Amino acid sequence: MANYHVGCGITGIFAGTLNKKGDTWVNNSDVTDEAISAVAQFLLEHEEAMEFSYHGKRYRLAVEPQESEDKE
């Protein structure tokens, strides 16, 4: 069974398989929209935010409702 990986590239988020050495994509697909939507749905369903560090800074990722612009 193939080992699937997810990674961030210059142009988006990709999912696919890597070579045996693990340093080059063998095949991949751009899954940017699906990945971002999946994370948002996960956070909404679990009613939580995600906190993480990147380059020494702390971040918080959360999904908040947006007011509708169509007020009738």
**Can you give the pLDDT at residue 67?**
87
What does the alpha-carbon distance between residue 20 and residue 11 come to, in Å, rounded to a whole number? 24
Are 26 and 18 in contact by the 8 Å Cβ rule? The answer is yes
Q: Is the pLDDT of residue 44 over 60?
A: yes
pLDDT band at 22 (very low <50, low <70, confident <90, very high): confident
SS3 32: helix
Alpha helices in 1-67 (DSSP H): 32-45
Over residues 8-37, mean pLDDT: 93
32 vs 23, more confident: 32
Over residues 5-12, mean pLDDT: 93
